Amino acid sequence: MNRITYNNDFLQNYCKENNILLINAYNNINRDTRIEGNCLIEECKYNFNKVFRQLVKTGGYCNLCSKINHQNKIKEVVLNKYGVENVFQLNEVKDKIQKTTLLHLFSFKTPNLNEIIKLFLSDFTPFLI
C-alpha cells in the first residue's frame, strides 16, 4: 500500500483531479490541516470544512451532502444484496421483530405464568399475524 504524503503538491493535485474549489490558500500542510472549500454538488450552496485526510477519504462534500450520499449508498447496497430498499421490508426481519416483541412482552419470572401465556398465545396466534 502506498503511503500518502500530505503536502501542498498533493492538495493541489487532489483538488485538480476532483474539481474541488478551495476557499483559502494553504501553506505548511499536513494530514491534520483543516481544508475549506465549496461542496462538489453543484446545486448545494454550503461549504465543507474537513481535515485533509478526511477530505481525501470522503471527498469534497458538505455535511448535508455527505449524509445524503451515505444514505443512498446504504440503499444501493441493501437493494443489490436483498432486493429491497430497507432491511425492515424483509419478511424474515419482520417475523423476528414480532417474535422478539412477543417474547419480551409476555416473559415473566415465574414459569407457571409463562406456560399460561404460551397456551393463551397459541390459541390466538392466527389473530396476531
Residue 74 within any structural domain of the chain? no
Statement to judge: residues 61 and 20 lie in one domain: yes
Residue 119 within any structural domain of the chain? yes
Domain that holds residue 114: 90-128
pLDDT tens digit sequence for 4-61? 899 999 999 999 999 999 999 998 999 999 999 999 999 999 999 999 999 999 999 9
Element (H, E) at 71: helix 63-82
Residue 82 within any structural domain of the chain? no
Which residue reads 414459569 in cell numbers? 111
Statement to judge: residues 63 and 100 lie in one domain: no
Residue 83 within any structural domain of the chain? no
> pTM for the complete prediction?
0.64
Domain count, the chain: 2
Residue 17 within any structural domain of the chain? yes
- The grid coordinates of residue 72 equal 443512498
* Own/partner pairs, 33-40, CB within 8 angstroms, 24+ separation: 33/6, 35/11, 39/65, 40/65
Residue 98 within any structural domain of the chain? yes
